[in-house]
Amino acid sequence: MSELVTIRDASMSTGVSAKMIRHYESIGLISAPARTENRYRHYSQRDIHELGFIRKARDLGFPIEDIRHLLALWRDRSRSSAEVKAIALRHIAALDEKAAALQAMSATLKHLASNCHGDNRPDCPIIDALERDFTETHPAFERLG
């Protein structure tokens, strides 16, 4: 790869779409790249490295603000690894909470599906549960039909 590359080449080498690269630039996550006379964006090796860092962090599910903080820590060679670890541990806790919520949803749906006959009859515990949950949280709505 040459010293400066186009957005297309940056995208291909990092796996970050050109649209996302432009988005990261617009929100200040990455610096605006060098521009040629024809206004094309050209990215340096450092830009490519930062985009790769962002891609890996996104693959791990870090939110943009955490990535912004991690990038700042990565750029700061006098950083404390304790800060990095604290961000990672907060993210792990959030992931564990989401995983528990997904497990609960899966268990509920498995229970409902196991009680559904799945035949030509109209009665269905899945539909009943969805309707019940909605009407219980929105009492102003009456059953239609």
Alpha helices in the chain (DSSP H): 7-14, 18-26, 45-59, 64-75, 81-114, 125-137
The CATH number of the domain covering residues in 5-62: 1.10.1660.10
For 60-78, b where at least 16 C-beta lie within 10 A, e where not — what string?
eebeeebbbbbbebeeeee
Instruction: Show Cβ contacts of residue 45 under 8 Å, excluding neighbours closer than 6 positions.
Output: 1, 3
Q: State which amino acid sits at residue 24.
A: Y
**Residue with tokens 């709505």, as numbered in its chain:** 141
Region 36-55 average pLDDT = 92
**Tell me, what's the pLDDT at 145?**
47
| Residue 1 binned pLDDT confidence (cut-offs 50, 70, 90) | very low
Total-model pTM: 0.78
